[in-house]
Amino acid sequence: MTFTAAPALSGSVAVPGDKSISHRSLMLSALAVGESRVEGLLEGEDVLATAAAMRAMGADIERDADGIWHIHGVGVGGLLQPETALGMGNSGTSTRLLMGLLASHDLTATFTGDASLSKRPMARVTEPLARMGASFTTSPGDRLPLTMRGACPAVPLDYRLPVASAQVKSAILLAGLNTPGITRVVEPIPTRDHSERMLRGFGAELDVEVEADGTRIITLVGEAELKPQQIVVPGDPSSAAFPMVAALLVPGSQVTIANVGLNKTRAGLIDLLREMGGSIEVINPREVGGEPVGDLAVTASALKGVEPDPARAPSMIDEYPVAFIAAALAQGRSVFRGLEELRVKESDRIATMAAGLRAIGVTVEELEDGIIIEGSGGAPLAGGGPIATKLDHRIAMSFAVAGLVSRDGVMIDDMAPVATSFPTFVPLLRTLGALA
Ligand code: S3P
């Protein structure tokens, strides 16, 4: 598919439900006894992989005609042995969180994934979960496909995260749910806190202590009992990032993105774009389902280059690809560092973005832990392609946005991965008038 120079974008749109919260809604509801209801669930392939896995282990999960999801859980510790391998598709979150959940259940499960997921490191979860008593047979390099055997009872863990990862934190906390005693996770650099908020919401005894230097100490009392909940999932800020950057870059645009999750642990891109000179206004800030939410009014703006503090990385970890597109249109040079985690996402996002940006005429220097981008000062990018998206939804959407501000258009080799997180991406761009 080729994306070409767009006229000014206008209108009001809403993005689908938050992916992180959607996964957790299904997993925690599947562990509560009784019926939970989830409104606004992201119906993307990644979340549907989680739903299929929870069904395969005994939860009853149905979507009604109004789009509300109804989940009857089995109780903490009640998951059943799945009869076939759990197909995780492209979803690292499904894989790592479910490995945690199963680590304290008396069952054996095999996880498989697509070519992208099968390249991603799993030692970051197998190592702590093995200390809790689970055992793993992995493919070379601690990768998928892998088979795990849970431990019941598991041994509670006191763990300091060696990498800033909400998936690793969440895997350990989920394992702790069915583990006698207290599971403790020490998080030196804060990451998204949806697991903590939701575990508490479901009735688990969970405490967070924040030390003077910002280190978070999370304690969870095991053998928890979860109570069914009514959940409203806010719009995904990681999906809102694409129309947000598009509206800033396409001259004359004025766009409203409704119902966007604004949790501080996720909102780093908004801060960054504002520092670059972007006009983004939060309208009607409110709370939905225990999460801060607002509508974003975005007006096209001239941007300037930045050198963002790497400490901000976890709060916008999934937004760097589209932030690099914003930098490519900014005035001056941007230097992004401290981003080694980007090399183990759905693709190596430093290498994939560097190659794609070069292919559309942007001058970049790839660093071990980041990238240096020379901005065009607002002049359209040359364009070209096809861009190799490497089964990475966020690469595809980032270069689609680049196409809207290009001279010759940007061709994307494969838009199919977009269905993992943002199935309505192309129709949403059409609503804004971005597509011919
Ligand atoms: C996620 C955590 C992040 C993020 C991913 C979703 C989550 O991964 O990139 O898209 O829902 O916990 P890491 O924990 O690997 O940083």
If you take atom 9 of ligand 1, which residue's CA is the nearest one? 318
Residues 335-391: tens digit of each pLDDT: 999 999 999 999 999 999 999 999 999 999 999 999 999 999 999 999 999 999 999
Are 232 and 289 contacting, i.e. CB atoms less than 8 angstroms apart? Answer: yes
Which residues on adjacent β-strands are paired with residue 60? 72
How do 108-112 and 143-149 pair as beta strands?
Answer: antiparallel
Q: What is the pLDDT of residues 225-251, one digit of tens each?
A: 999 999 999 999 999 999 999 999 999
For ligand 1, the distance from its centroid to the CA atom of residue 306, given in whole angstroms, is 24
What residues are in contact with ligand 1 under a 6 Å CB criterion?
Answer: 20, 93, 165-167, 170, 192, 317-318, 341
DSSP string computed for 194-251: HHHHHHHHTT--EEEEE-TTS-EEEEEESS------EEEPPBPHHHHHHHHHHHHHST
Residue type, 310: P
> Quick one: which atom of ligand 1 is closest to the CA of 164?
16
pTM assigned to the model: 0.98
Task: Determine the atom of ligand 1 nearest the C-alpha atom of 195.
Answer: 12
Tokens, residue 183: 């599971």
204-213: per-residue pLDDT in tens? 999 999 999 9
- The whole-number pLDDT of residue 10 equals 98
158-177 residue pLDDT tens: 999 999 999 999 999 999 99
Q: Which residues, 6 or more positions from 372, have their beta carbon under 8 angstroms from its beta carbon?
A: 333, 334, 335, 336, 364, 365
Instruction: Name the segment(s) of the chain with CATH classification 3.65.10.10.
Output: 2-16+235-431, 19-232
* Closest C-alpha residue for ligand 1 atom 13: 165
Tokens of 402: 């680049």
Distance CA 228, CA 72 (A): 8
- Residue with CA at minimum distance from ligand 1 atom 15: 165
- Confidence at residue 110, expressed as pLDDT on a 0 to 100 scale: 98
Class of domain 19-232: alpha beta
Q: Is the pLDDT of residue 290 over 90?
A: no
- pLDDT band per the 50, 70, 90 thresholds, residue 436: confident
Ligand 1 atom nearest the C-alpha of 124 is 15
Residue with tokens 């050198």: 307
For 357, the token pair is: 């940006």
Count of C-beta atoms within a 10 Å radius of residue 67 = 11
CA distance 194 to 192: 6
Could you say which DSSP state residue 82 is in?
P
Q: Per-residue pLDDT for 61 more than 90?
A: yes
Amino acid identity of residue 248, one-letter, is L
148 DSSP 8-state letter: E
What separation in Å is there between the alpha carbon of 342 and the centre of ligand 1?
11
Q: What percent of the chain has pLDDT over 70?
A: 100
Q: Which tokens belong to 313? A: 């990385």
- pLDDT in the model for residue 18: 98
CATH topology of domain 2-16+235-431: UDP-n-acetylglucosamine1-carboxyvinyl-transferase; Chain (3.65.10)
Strands of 229-319, DSSP E? 230-232, 254-261, 279-288, 291-299
Strand order across the beta sheet in which 384-387 lies = 2-3, 410-412, 384-387
Which residue puts its alpha carbon closest to atom 11 of ligand 1?
20
Distance (Å) from CA 331 to ligand 1 centroid: 31
Confidence of residue 51 (pLDDT cuts 50, 70, 90): very high
d(CA 79, CA 83): 12
Please say if the pLDDT value at position 275 is more than 90. yes
- The average pLDDT across 111-132 equals 98
Contact present, 38 and 32 (Cβ < 8 Å): no
The letter for the amino acid at 114 is D
- Measured in angstroms, how far is the CA atom of residue 430 from the centroid of ligand 1? 29
Q: What are the b/e assignments for 321-355, b being 16+ CB within 10 Å?
A: bbbbbbbbbbeebbebbebebbebbbbbbbebbbb
Rounded Cα distance between 151 and 135, Å, is: 8
Query: How do 158-160 and 182-187 pair as beta strands?
Result: parallel
Give the separation between CA 138 and CA 150, rounded to whole angstroms: 14
Site to probe by mutation for ligand 1, drawn from 165, 316, 339, 393 as the one with most ligand atoms within 8 Å of Cβ, is 165
What residues contact residue 58 under an 8 Å CB cut-off, 6+ apart?
Answer: 30, 74, 78, 79, 80
CA of 11 to the centre of ligand 1 (A): 30
Q: What is the pLDDT of residue 293?
A: 98
The predicted structure's pLDDT at residue 289 = 82
- From 25, 47, 93, 236, mutation site for ligand 1 pocket: most ligand atoms within 8 A of C-beta: 93
For the cut 90, the answer to whether the pLDDT of residue 429 exceeds it is yes
One DSSP character per residue, 325-348 reads HHHHTSBSEEEE-S-GGGGGSSS-
Atom of ligand 1 nearest to the CA of 23: 11
- For the chain, the average pLDDT equals 98
Other CB atoms closer than 10 Å to residue 385's CB: what's the count? 20
Active-site residue list: 318
Ligand 1 center from residue 254 Cα (angstroms): 30
Atom of ligand 1 nearest to the CA of 170: 12
The 10 Å CB-count burial string (b at 16+, else e) for 286-301 is eebbbbbbbbbbbebb
